[in-house]
Each structure stands twice: as structure tokens, then as C-alpha cells.
Amino acid sequence: MSVSDTNLASAPRRANRSSESVARKVARNVGVPVLSIVLLLVVWQAIVVGFHVAPYIAPRPYQAVLAVTQNWSTLWPLVLGTIRETVYGFVAGAALGISLGVIMAKVPVLQRLVYPVLVLSQAVPIIALAAPLVLILGFSVTPKVVIVAWIVFFPVTVNVLDGLSHVDQDLVNLARVYGAPRWRTFVQIEVPATATPLFSGLKIGATYAVTGAIIGELAASDGSSLALYQEHANTNLNTAAVYGTTMLMTVIGISWFLLVVGAEVFATPWQRRTVARRSWRRVADQSEGDSAR
Amino acid sequence: MSASAILELRDVGKVFGDTVALEPTTLSIEEGSFVAIVGPSGCGKSTLFNVIAGLLEPDGGEVRLHDRPVTGATGHVGYMLQKDLLVPWRTVEDNITMAKRLTGRVSSAHRAEARRVARQYGLGDFLRHYPSALSGGMRQRVAFMRTLVTHQPLLLLDEPFGALDAQTRLEMQQWLLQVWKDTERTVLFITHDVDESIFLSDRVLVMSPRPGRVVADFVNPLARPRTVDTLTEPDFVVLKARIMHLLHGGTP
């Protein structure tokens, strides 16, 4: 029988993604979300103007934006503070979540022992947690980081645990048949197989991280924070500043979420590509001995 | 044992709870031969394979490869299932070299071999593709190449074409015979499909369930190379009738 290339080329998923023009890609992935945000602002403006809403009840979008830009020098350090709490807390929470997920997946006894405690930890209202945390840790950045991590770790643990428990056992057995040591099987098979659920957990964590930081700032703040700034503005009926700060918090939250999404896109190219990116190793190989072609 | 046996089983059996998955079985497989194992579900075919591969420790008996005991040890056979088990996060080339990566380092020589094999068997244009871009038949080919480059002399193939459509399966069978001839391996091939077992093999073992055991051992008289015409030869039909008879409750 002749073995030729010709009758094999009926791949179900062709590489048509790459043939799509860059402009269209940008339009679809960036243009549409931006458009929906612009639309939201337009609706907001229309409602406020149309129903003659007083500025102290609800400001117009541009007033909210102005309230931010005009006080940028005051706000900027506060924003940095919130970002710091979010990032530290997220990283700590993700690290804790991954470690717990892996340990629980590998030691079933621990899984039964620890799981109820984890669920319990999430049933505790975060606000109620703040007071004892301040007593223990003081009014520093630490209690906020702890609150963020407290929120972030849970979806990460649950997803990692779930992912690791659902790795195809036939694949693990195949590695065994090859004579692979268990740690290699873990690193090369189980870890990448868990990438998708891991990132699901991280994305959920990322959306809640800023909320955690703001709650922490409210409940455990010693004076200067974005959340307190907003509270002062609210007391002074400076509604534009209240809305402006909310927008800032939202932007921080979305940016962090997008960063995690970006990390996922970078880390899991097989999810959306049919052909691998060129790597230095492959290039070296090709130049070395592919004259046999 | 005969001098040319690559694999020997001596009274190898396995019981799960009350179920005798495999009665103590003694078996000798000749080096370079293509042996098909056919039987209904639950006849212990896969248990037999898992014991040979070292995934299952048998209750008793001994597995010997090249006259060395390997009972319960892994790392000495090539192994492939109906599920292609390609990892979606690696390219075709990196899937082919997977065994080396799992047991040591993948050198540029290993990668060069993977590319050579892929080109030889018609997948040269897909080396940098992820498995999701391939059809079922192509994926099985990659899985088989991955098994080949382990350089194990004995290949255990557990219904490798079971999930393919009839047309692709026939192509893959002819392709497998070609590769088998090129590479001079010993193949143990599990299948449900009687036609397939006869078409491919030098020898057909028939297994039966409850308890799982080998009930017959046929020498396949058909000449090679096999073509589509093989499927209608008188010898083919006679052998098929005898196997069908056994599979449907008859006695040898």
C-alpha cells in the first residue's frame, strides 16, 4: 500500500484563524467590548439628562471622570495602595490555593479532613473577619492582603482539586508503562492537564480580588485608602467623586482580570491555535538537520 | 521455551474480588509475529495486556520477556489503546517524543527521528500542529508513531482502530501491516472484530469470559501481503466461521 500525504489532509479544524486579518481580530476582541462600555456610558448620560436627575443623586459620566482626573494627585497613591493589596493578596491566595489543591488531590485523607474547613472559611462573612484580623495584624497592609487571599484561594483550590482528580487515568497509566517516575508524570501530564480549571479558578479569584481589597480597606483602614476616600466623598454629598472612585475600582478589577486572561492565553496556546508558535529550540533543530526533507 | 519466543506467560492469572478476570494462562509469543486476540467484553483481554505491561500485578505466575522475568515491572513494552491519548498541549512532534521526555531528556536526535518517522508515514506537514487539528485516523497514526519510537520490541495494541469508521479502519490496518513489516516488531493486537483479527495476524487467540481464558489458538494460514481480496478467500471464511462459532458459545 502506498503511504502518501495526499489522502490524509482532511483535518477537521483548519488553520483559518491565522488567515483572518489582524484588523478584524482587533475589532472583534477589543472593539466590541469597548463599544459596549461606551454604550453603557451613553445610556447612563441619557437617563441622567432625560429624567433631570440632580447631580448629588447621580452625576453625569463626564462629571464622574472629572472628579477623578482633577484629584488625580490625591487619588494616585490610594490607587497604588489598592493595587498593591489586590496583587499581593491575589498572589498569596493563588499560591495557597494551588498548594492546597495539589496536597488535597494527592492525599485523600487530607482532602476529607480539610475540605469542610475550607467550605466553612467561605461561609464566614468577610466583614466579620476584619475586626479580629485587625486585632491580630494591626492597621497595616497585611489584614487587607489576608482578606484578598482568603477570597481568592477558594475557587483556585476547588478548581485545581477538581482538575487533578479528573486527569485521564489511562494517560497516567501510559506514562507508567513507559516507565516514567511519578514526579515527571505529575509535571508533564497532570499539571498541564489542570491548566484550564486552574485558570478558571484564577479568573474567578481575580474578579473578587479587588472587592476583597476594598472590603479590607473599609474594615481595616487607618486613614488613607481608596475606600475611605469614597466614604468621605459620600458623607460630603460629592456624588461625582463617589461614582468616579467606583469607576477607578472597577478599572483596577477589570485590568487585573484581563492580565490573568492574558497569562492564560500565553500559557495555553493549544486552546486557540492549530499550529504551535515557533520556538528557539525548533528553529535550532530545523537549521541543524532538516536537509532530509 | 522455544528459542525464538519474545514473550512467555507461565500460569499468569488475576482475580478481582469474586470475578476471575483471567484464569491462570500459559502462552508463548514468537518474536516478530503478529498475534491477534479476539473475544467479547469481559473476557480478560485488557487484564492480560495490563499484566504484560506491568500495570497489574498478577495473582500468580510469571511474565518473561526475552527470557527475563518482568512480572509487575513497567517500561518494557510499547502500549497503545483505542483512545489515542495524545496530549492536547503538545505538538505532533512533541507527542511522538513523549516517552523520552517522561523518562529522560529529548535530544535533537530523538526529535529528528520523530520528524523522520512522521514524514515517512505521511504526517510530515503536521509536525507543529496540535492534536486538535488532526482527524481521528491521523491521531491514531501519531499515537502509533509515539509507540514505535519507544523502540520496544513488543507492541501491545488494545483495539487501536476501534473508534474509527470502517473505511479509515481498513486504511489503518493496511498501514499497520506496512509499518510492522518495515520495523520488524512483535505485535499483540486486541480486537472485537473477527475480520480484523484474521486480516492482520499470523495467529489468532480466542478468549472467552467468566472466567476469562484463552479457549483457542489458531494458526492463520493466509499468505502475505494481505489485500482487500484476502477478506473473501476460502481460508479466511473458514477461519472466520470457526472463530465465530467459538465466540457464540460453541466448543473448540
With a pLDDT cut of 90, the percent of chain A lying above it is: 68
Nearest CA in chain B to A194: B89
Instruction: Specify the pLDDT at position B41.
Output: 84
Instruction: Specify the pLDDT at position A280.
Output: 59
Kindly list the residues from chain A whose CB atom is less than 8 angstroms away from the CB atom of residue B99.
178, 180
Decide if A265 is inside a domain: yes
CB contact under 8 Å between A177 and B128, yes or no, is no
Confidence of residue A282 (pLDDT cuts 50, 70, 90): low
Instruction: Specify the pLDDT at position A140.
Output: 83
Instruction: Give the residues of chain B that fall short of pLDDT 50.
Output: 1
CB contact under 8 Å between B89 and A170, yes or no, is no
DSSP symbol at A32: H
Instruction: Specify the pLDDT at position A7.
Output: 40
Nearest CA in chain A to B174: A1
Kindly list the residues from chain A whose CB atom is less than 8 angstroms away from the CB atom of residue B87.
171, 189, 192-193
Rounded to a whole number of angstroms, the distance from the CA of A118 to the nearest CA of chain B is: 31
Rounded to a whole number of angstroms, the distance from the CA of A108 to the nearest CA of chain B is: 22
Question: What are the domain boundaries of chain B?
Answer: 84-151
In terms of pLDDT, which residue wins out, A130 or B185? B185
Indicate which of B55, B87, B113 best probes the interface with A, i.e. most A CBs within 10 Å of its own CB.
Answer: B87
Indicate which of A2, A7, A8 best probes the interface with B, i.e. most B CBs within 10 Å of its own CB.
Answer: A8
In this prediction, residues A15-35 reach a mean pLDDT of: 74
Decide if A57 is inside a domain: no
Decide if A34 is inside a domain: no
Instruction: Specify the pLDDT at position A219.
Output: 82
* Distances from the Cα of B97 to the Cα of B111, B112, B132, B188, B214, angstroms: 7, 10, 18, 22, 35
Decide if A136 is inside a domain: yes
Instruction: Specify the pLDDT at position A19.
Output: 54
Decide if A20 is inside a domain: no
CB contact under 8 Å between B133 and A289, yes or no, is no
Instruction: State how far the Cα of B240 lies from the Cα of B251, in Å rounded to an integer.
Output: 15
Rounded to a whole number of angstroms, the distance from the CA of A96 to the nearest CA of chain B is: 25
Decide if A39 is inside a domain: no
Residue in B81, B123, B132 nearest the CB of A274: B132
Kindly list the residues from chain B whose CB atom is less than 8 angstroms away from the CB atom of residue A7.
171
Lowest mean pLDDT of A166-175, A260-269, A282-291, name the range: A282-291
Rounded to a whole number of angstroms, the distance from the CA of B99 to the nearest CA of chain A is: 6
Instruction: Specify the pLDDT at position A13.
Output: 45
With a pLDDT cut of 70, the percent of chain A lying above it is: 88
CB contact under 8 Å between A293 and B119, yes or no, is yes
In this prediction, residues A121-143 reach a mean pLDDT of: 86
Give B68's strand partners.
B65
Instruction: Specify the pLDDT at position A6.
Output: 38
Decide if A152 is inside a domain: yes
Nearest CA in chain A to B51: A177
Residue in B122, B133, B175 nearest the CB of A13: B133
Q: What angle do CA A99, A100, A102 make, to 5 degrees?
A: 65
Count of A-B CB contacts under 8 Å: 117
Kindly list the residues from chain A whose CB atom is less than 8 angstroms away from the CB atom of residue B116.
292
Q: Domain containing A142: what range?
A: 70-270
3-state SS, chain B, equals CCCCEEEEEEEEEEEECCEEEEEEEEEEEECCCEEEEECCCCCCHHHHHHHHHCCCCCCEEEEEECCEECCCCCCCCEEECCCCCCCCCCCHHHHHCHHHHHHCCCCHHHHHHHHHHHHHCCCHHHCCECHHHCCHHHHHHHHHHHHHCCCCCEEEEECCCCCCCHHHHHHHHHHHHHHHHHHCCEEEEEECCHHHHHHHCCEEEEEECCCCEEEEEEECCCCCCCCHHHHHCHHHHHHHHHHHHHHCCCCC
Instruction: Specify the pLDDT at position A291.
Output: 40
Confidence of residue A270 (pLDDT cuts 50, 70, 90): very high
Instruction: State how far the Cα of B204 lies from the Cα of B47, in Å rounded to an integer.
Output: 18
Instruction: Specify the pLDDT at position A131.
Output: 82
Indicate which of B52, B90, B132, B178 best probes the interface with A, i.e. most A CBs within 10 Å of its own CB.
Answer: B132
Structural domain total, chain A: 1
pLDDT at A39 over 90: yes
Residue in A170, A175, A282 nearest the CB of B102: A175
CB contact under 8 Å between A12 and B175, yes or no, is no
Instruction: State how far the Cα of A137 lies from the Cα of A133, in Å rounded to an integer.
Output: 6
In terms of pLDDT, which residue wins out, A191 or B122? A191
**ipTM field:** 0.90
CATH label of the domain that carries residue A181: 1.10.3720.10
Decide if A22 is inside a domain: no
* Distances from the Cα of B58 to the Cα of A180, B39, B49, B102, B149, angstroms: 21, 20, 11, 26, 28
Nearest CA in chain A to B130: A274
